[in-house]
């Protein structure tokens, strides 16, 4: 493998290592980096040719815009008209964190990363090392999730190493703490439209906005990316509620159950454990890893347990539904 790999930790601002990546970005290269949600594959947002490499490496459709990752609020101002978002100051208190705010864009965002849209999604990731790398790059980093288009996002560096080719540098950090992608919102006056659910949920925004709604599949204001196939393992994956799942695995031995710690106690044969229902991040941070394990395993198919659709589990179920078919 040609690319360079550097080991990093999210809580350590290792300047020397951060500078290595910053130089790659300034020279128009592509860097993979950890965040608290999933790994990102990034290039200089002001360099269209560098951003084109990301689309080529991922096999991503050119009409799907990239999120711009910045180190701080000053840098956000370079790319978005934040003063046109009434609740911006309040929303910005949720940064660094798993939130992408779609706002009217400024000219410094290239046509390639913005996919020709008049808006830009901005995020400050909650990883000290990555923010240091972005700061030293002295530009915004346009970055989608670091996976081939359609595959589950990468939550561990080893997910990427044999999947993406043509990358200049990989920062190998710890597994992603949250494990599903950021919440993407489109705030409009007193309305907050959730384009993609994530760790921040409607509850977090209903304190700030009169109206909070999830964009539906027919909604004219939706994320271009949501129309594409997503998050899917290559093997067949079914989903079912606990009781139906238990009945099914009783009579079908060829399928691997992917279940909560609590449900696992009721299954005699082999099973894979998502995590405890009492610890939502344990579940979300293992989800994509298990979907990828299914593809690598001897099993031809899997069946995953449906979670109660409240709070953060709404977001986790959003990904599970996209990756699976109902039993
Ligand atoms: O957690 C995350 O958001 C990760 C990490 C790396 O930050 N990034 C990520 O990027 O998930 P990506 O490209 O895989 O998903 C971004 C989603 C896509 O569905 C895209 O269409 C949407 O956000 N998006 C980006 N810019 C947008 C814009 N200006 N308007 C509407 N949707 C936008
Ligand atoms: Mg993605």
For the cut 70, the answer to whether the pLDDT of residue 220 exceeds it is no
For the cut 80, the answer to whether the pLDDT of residue 133 exceeds it is yes
Q: Is the CB of 183 under 6 A from ligand 1?
A: no
- Here the tokens at position 135 are 């700061």
Alpha carbon of 149 to ligand 2 centroid (Å): 7
Minimum-distance ligand 1 atom for the alpha carbon of 223: 32
Q: What average pLDDT does the segment 159-173 reach?
A: 95
For the cut 90, the answer to whether the pLDDT of residue 232 exceeds it is no
Which pLDDT belongs to residue 266? 97
Q: What average pLDDT does the segment 220-239 reach?
A: 78
Cis check for the bond before 96: say yes or no (omega within 30 of 0): yes
Q: What average pLDDT does the segment 9-36 reach?
A: 98
Q: How much of the chain, in percent, has pLDDT values that exceed 90?
A: 92
As a dihedral over the C-alpha atoms of residue 216, residue 222, residue 224, residue 229, rounded to 10 degrees, the angle is: -20
CA distances from 45 to 48, 142, 190, 206, 292 (A): 7, 5, 30, 32, 30
Ligand nearest to the CA of 40: 1
Binned at pLDDT 50, 70 and 90, residue 228 comes out as low
Q: What is the rounded CA–CA span in Å between residue 256 and residue 300?
A: 9
Concatenating the DSSP letter of every residue in 78-143 gives HHB-GGGSTTHHHHHTT-SSSEEEEEEBPTTS-HHHHTT-SEEEEE--S-HHHHHHHHHHTS-EE-
For the cut 80, the answer to whether the pLDDT of residue 318 exceeds it is yes
Alpha carbon of 113 to ligand 2 centroid (Å): 14
Alpha carbon of 145 to ligand 1 centroid (Å): 8
Binned at pLDDT 50, 70 and 90, residue 219 comes out as confident
Which pLDDT belongs to residue 231? 72
CATH annotation of 4-214: 3.90.870.10
Q: What average pLDDT does the segment 189-194 reach?
A: 95
Q: How much of the chain, in percent, has pLDDT values that exceed 70?
A: 97
pLDDT per residue over 37-74, tens digit each?
Answer: 999 999 999 999 999 999 999 999 999 999 999 999 99
pLDDT per residue over 263-310, tens digit each?
Answer: 999 999 999 999 999 999 999 999 999 999 999 999 999 999 999 999
For the cut 90, the answer to whether the pLDDT of residue 233 exceeds it is no
Which pLDDT belongs to residue 224? 76
Which pLDDT belongs to residue 227? 66
Mutate which of 94, 100, 167, 319 to test ligand 1's pocket (most atoms within 8 Å of Cβ)? 100
Q: Looking up tokens 């919102």, which residue turns up?
A: 185
Which pLDDT belongs to residue 205? 97
For the cut 70, the answer to whether the pLDDT of residue 229 exceeds it is no
CA distances from 110 to 51, 113, 236 (A): 9, 6, 39
Q: What is the mean pLDDT of the chain?
A: 95
Region for 138 from its dihedrals, namely left if φ exceeds 0, alpha if ψ lies in -120 to 50, beta otherwise = left
- Domain ranges across the chain: 4-214, 236-326
Q: Is the CB of 58 under 6 A from ligand 1?
A: no
Per CATH, domain 236-326 is 3.40.50.410: no
Nearest to 184 by CA among 168, 170, 167, 201: 201
Contacts of 190 (CB under 8 A, 6+ apart): 86, 209, 210, 211
For the cut 60, the answer to whether the pLDDT of residue 2 exceeds it is no
Alpha carbon of 236 to ligand 2 centroid (Å): 20
Q: What is the rounded CA–CA span in Å between residue 259 and residue 276?
A: 9
Residue 205 DSSP SS3: helix
Which pLDDT belongs to residue 4? 94
Alpha carbon of 321 to ligand 2 centroid (Å): 15
For the cut 90, the answer to whether the pLDDT of residue 137 exceeds it is yes
pLDDT per residue over 88-116, tens digit each?
Answer: 999 999 999 999 999 999 999 999 999 99
Residue with CA closest to ligand 1 atom 32: 223
Which pLDDT belongs to residue 1? 45
Minimum-distance ligand 1 atom for the alpha carbon of 184: 23
Minimum-distance ligand 1 atom for the alpha carbon of 119: 29
Max CA distance (Å), the chain: 60
């Amino acid at each position: 493998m040609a690319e360079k790999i550097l080991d990093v930790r999210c809580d350590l601002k290792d300047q020397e290592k951060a500078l290595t990546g910053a130089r790659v970005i300034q020279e128009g290269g592509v860097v993979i980096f950890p965040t608290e949600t999933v790994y990102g594959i990034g290039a200089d947002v002001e360099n269209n040719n560098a951003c084109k490499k990301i689309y080529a490496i991922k096999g991503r459709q050119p009409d799907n815009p990239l999120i711009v990752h910045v180190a701080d609020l000053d840098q956000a101002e370079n790319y978005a008209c934040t003063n046109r978002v009434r609740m911006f100051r309040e929303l910005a208190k949720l940064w660094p964190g798993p939130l992408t705010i779609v706002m009217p864009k400024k000219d410094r965002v290239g046509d390639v990363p913005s996919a020709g849209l008049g808006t830009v999604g901005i995020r400050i990731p909650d990883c000290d090392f990555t923010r240091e790398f972005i700061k030293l790059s002295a530009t915004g980093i346009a970055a989608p999730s670091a996976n081939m288009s359609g595959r589950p996002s990468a939550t561990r560096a080893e997910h990427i190493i044999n999947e993406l080719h043509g990358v200049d540098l990989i920062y190998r950090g710890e597994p992603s703490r949250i494990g599903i992608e950021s919440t993407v919102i489109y705030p409009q006056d007193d309305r907050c439209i959730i384009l993609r659910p994530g760790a921040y949920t409607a509850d977090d925004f209903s304190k700030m906005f009169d109206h909070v709604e999830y964009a539906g599949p027919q909604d004219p204001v939706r994320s271009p990316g949501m129309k594409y196939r997503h998050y899917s393992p290559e093997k067949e994956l079914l989903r079912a509620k606990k009781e139906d799942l238990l009945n099914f695995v009783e009579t079908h031995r060829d399928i691997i159950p992917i279940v909560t710690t609590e449900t696992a106690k009721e299954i005699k044969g082999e099973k894979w454990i998502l995590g405890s229902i009492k610890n939502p991040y344990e579940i979300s941070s293992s989800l994509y890893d298990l979907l990828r394990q299914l593809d690598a395993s001897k099993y031809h198919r899997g069946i995953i347990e449906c979670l109660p659709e409240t709070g953060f589990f709404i977001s986790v179920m959003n990904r599970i539904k996209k990756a699976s078919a109902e039993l």
